[in-house]
Structure formats: C-alpha cells, structure tokens
Amino acid sequence: MSFHTSCQNIHLIKEDGKTILHAEVRRRNNEVVARTFRLDTHIGNSNGNFQWGGHDFTHSARDIELEQTERGPRLIAFLKGADGQYRELQGLYLADRISNNDGELVYLY
C-alpha cells in the first residue's frame, strides 16, 4: 500500500546532516504512531539525479523539500552533478519505494 494514504502530518526533518521523513502512521488496528525513515539510507545522488538504492544524497543537495502531489509526497532538491554544479530541480516520488507495514515505514526493494 502506498504509505501516504495511511499517514498524516508527513514532513521532513534535517538531523545530523541527514534528511529524515517523519509521519504519523496508521496501523491495522487504526492506532496512529509517529515514525521516521532515514531517506539518506536509501537515496543517493547520481550525477545530479536522485537514485533509489544509493545513499547520502543530502551532502550534495540544497533546498531539500517535500512537495505534496496527487501521486504522493515528492522529494525535491537541487543536486550537484559530477562537475560540481547544481542541476535543475530534481524530484523523486517517495511512495514508489516506501510502504506502511502495520505502522512501520519500510523500503521496498
């Protein structure tokens, strides 16, 4: 299930040089629990583009934000390319690889 359909108050937190997704997540029993998901553990930067399966995109990004769309939350930022210059605004739909598993935000491999 796309995690955003069973969550509320979805936003980003920046902590210790990392970007963390925070959400209030609904469990099967309808209990709502606060959860976090370290985006830098699963998202990297490949020559100025977000890359699932990478890591530590935050170190080469600026203006990191979360955009709410009909398709779900979209991570957006300007990322540095291999030449050290920032590319145009990049985006990544988080619901493509993040799911709610009974109140836990999990990465879909």
Residue pLDDT, tens place only, 65-85: 999 999 999 999 999 999 999
Q: Could you tell me the CATH number of the domain that includes residue 88?
A: 2.30.60.10
Structural domains counted in the chain: 1
User: How far apart are alpha carbons 10 and 17 in whole angstroms?
Assistant: 20
Q: Residue 31: pLDDT band by 50, 70, 90 thresholds?
A: very high
2 pLDDT more than 90: no
90 CB neighbour count, 10 Å cutoff = 17
> What's 88's DSSP letter?
S
Q: What is the pLDDT of residue 1?
A: 54
Distance of CA 25 to CAs 7, 15, 74, Å?
4, 20, 17
Q: What is the pTM of this model?
A: 0.94
58 pLDDT more than 90: yes
> What's 83's DSSP letter?
T
> What's 41's DSSP letter?
G
Average pLDDT over residues 20-24: 98
Share of the chain above pLDDT 90, in %: 98
**Could you tell me the residue range of the domain that residue 76 belongs to?**
3-107
> Parallel, antiparallel, or unpaired: how do β-strands 104-107 and 98-101 relate?
antiparallel
Residue 34: enclosing H or E segment and its boundaries?
A: strand 32-38
Average pLDDT over residues 49-78: 97
